[in-house]
Amino acid sequence: MYNVARWTSSSLLKRVEEYFGVTRLYCGTAKEWDNWGSRFVIEHPYINWLYNKIDSIQEVLQYPFYKLYDILYYIRYRYIIKTHYVPTGLPPGEWYETDERLIFSMFNLLVDFIEIEKANMQRLCKSNSYSNTPWYLIYRSREQGLQYLNWEITLTGEDGRQSYTAQEQLALYNWWTEIRPNRLDPYESTGYNSHCDTRDWQLWDDVDDVLQPMLRQIREIQNDYNVEDTDMMIRLVRVRASLWT
């Protein structure tokens, strides 16, 4: 069931909270939420009772609307966001080996997680604002996603786990979007392409003397890239339990 707006979050009840000195928590760690909830029940028992009653009334009166939203969001998740589907982000119409599809799938999921899910957390929790984006469109913001990650990095807490996983997510995101796309092309950096453009391919006298060392160097660079890709994929797997909102 998807609640568009809780009555307990209305502007009227916010004014009630202000009058009674209630400080609402909009974002925090699990422990911070537990502590806030416990304090709220103890310090404001009558407001807590009122909220429970209002929630119960809303559940009954808006039940038909909830069922409608269930249908709308089934359509959204099934045909628009396609949460059952793993996108590669690769241009269609070409052949891609499984290893390439695998790494692109993993890291494009990370990109969507930060630019969509984390961005919405920043928009709703930190900025406390709602977008005019219709239900059938996807709200995406690289800037807000990174803002939320940078805020999470400051949440060192008792064990620092949330801060650590946020740092890893940010490092992996930057590697995938900024560093990896700017790798040197081994065929260009070794001079292989420029050499091939100038040589007469009917003459093979310099194959061993010139091209073979270049090809060996190309293979070494490609192997280094593959090792780096594998290391980054392993790092992503290690923080996969933190990829939820």
Give the pLDDT score at 2: 46
Q: Output the CA angle 140-183-191, nearest 5 degrees.
A: 150
Question: Tens of pLDDT along 44-88?
Answer: 888 889 888 998 998 899 888 888 888 988 998 888 888 898 989
For the stretch 117-143, pLDDT in tens is 999 999 887 665 555 677 778 889 999
What does pTM read for this prediction?
A: 0.76
Measured in whole angstroms, the distance separating CA 168 from the mean position of its chain's CA atoms is: 12
Q: Where are the domains of the chain?
A: 1-85
DSSP state for residue 131 in the 8-state scheme: -
In angstroms, rounded to a whole number, what is the distance separating the alpha carbons of residues 221 and 139? 39
- DSSP, residue by residue, 139-168: ---HHHHHHHHHHHHT--TTT-HHHHHHHH
Predicted confidence at residue 167, as pLDDT, reads 97
Average pLDDT, the chain: 87
Decide: 6 and 75 in contact? Cβ < 8 Å. no
